[in-house]
Amino acid sequence: MDIENNFYMVDIPVLIEKKRTEQNLEKITLLNLMMASNNRTMEDKEYRSFIKPFLPKGSTADMNKFDRGKVEQLRSMQG
């Protein structure tokens, strides 16, 4: 890639951020594949603290939280 001909210098921070996001998504994908294959090398709490830096900023969704009340509510709606 020839940066001098294709991009302005002010575009470089945006491109770096996009590249960092792509790399983080690749790492998350690899980690999820590892977890899906039941190749657990960490406890859940350790896994969450390890993966937190790779998640997008402001993402505070609780991973794998089960709410029995919501399941019962859904079951009652289905009849």
Segments forming the whole domain that contains residue 30: 3-78
pLDDT digits (tens, 9 = 90+) for 19-78: 999 998 888 888 777 776 666 667 778 877 877 777 776 655 555 577 788 888 888 888
**Domain count across the chain:** 1
Residues 48-77 as b/e (b if ≥16 CB within 10 A, e otherwise) read eeebeebeeeeeeeeeeeeeeeeeeeeeee
pTM attached to this predicted model: 0.41
